[in-house]
Amino acid sequence: MNMPAIPSVCSRLYTKPAFIILLFSCFTFSCLPAQTGYNLRRPDTVFVLPDTLREVSGITMLDSSMLACVQDENGIVFIYDTRSARIIRQFSFSGNGDYEGIARVQNALYVLMSNGILYHITDYRSDGKIIPLPTGIPCDNNEGLCYDETGNRLLIACKSPPGKEGAYKGERCIYSFDPGTKKLSEKPVYKTDIGSIRKFVSLRRTDVHDLKFRPSAIAIHPFTKKIWLLSASDHLLFIFSREGAPQHVELLDTALFSQAEGITFSANGDLFISNEAHGKKATLLRFRYHSY
């Protein structure tokens, strides 16, 4: 996709340095928000995904250019190469189902089903073993999965509250799963009250209404180590501190983010977000990282 060029105005303003500084400051904060480090209104690359990934629901980086992807209908891992913009390999790990997240832990992959079952692919590079792992997570609908290297754990973000009338009614929870012991945390490692999130958003954005906050994807930023959450139904991106406090919310342009269901970062900080087709073509968006 060819994005429109940004008009250059600085060449006409050399005699007004103060105005140049002000203009540059406004441009920086409007196009490259310091809160995120990314210009989420202008992706650096737009990859139009093949029809076999029209329901792409989870992505994770394998190296600087390749991602592993799942889509929520078939038990297949797709290896997508961003250099050639094509699927270079695929392999089955299970039958048809509702697969929502994928995460890499060294040479292993974990795939999350919405019911909480994890599929452990011991080595994605070869014919590794495939081990289904029932987690016992008390949520009926789970979509977010990522590897938290700092804590050496997988994080599972629940799209729905645990149970119907349980202790966490009215909250959204994130559980951890230990890849060594293969055990789920007894309690959520993070939990957020929906009312508090609605208040947080309302104080920062007047253009968000009927907030549902149903996490569809989760990732850890490689440098800040903060927690990034997508809520596809709200077209919102949230950033939380390591302690679980909300720090930033970004309204996503529906023209770019038709249904944001996957998020991951490369080692150099570049951000990748995948969108299910949702009446259009499925896409993978790359945003270059800008540190401050």
The C-alpha atoms of residue 258 and residue 234 are separated, in whole angstroms, by: 11
Asked, for residue 14, whether it belongs to a domain, the answer is no
> Domain count of the chain?
1
Does some domain include residue 150? yes
Q: Which ranges constitute the DSSP H helices of 203-287? A: none
Give me the pLDDT at residue 127, please.
Answer: 75
- For residue 135, tell me if it sits in a domain: yes
Range of the domain at 210: 42-287
Give a yes or no: residue 29 inside a domain: no
Look at residue 78 and tell me if it is in a domain: yes
pTM of the model: 0.88
**Is residue 155 assigned to a domain?**
yes
In a domain, 234, yes or no: yes
pLDDT in tens, the chain (292 residues): 433 333 333 323 333 333 333 333 333 333 445 679 999 999 999 999 999 999 999 999 999 999 999 999 999 999 999 999 999 999 999 999 999 999 999 999 999 999 999 999 999 998 789 999 999 999 999 999 999 999 999 999 999 887 655 677 789 999 999 999 999 999 999 999 999 999 999 999 999 999 999 999 999 999 999 999 999 999 999 999 999 999 999 999 999 999 999 999 999 999 999 999 988 899 999 999 987 6
Distance CA 54, CA 282 (A): 5
CA dist., res. 10 & res. 255, Å (int): 30
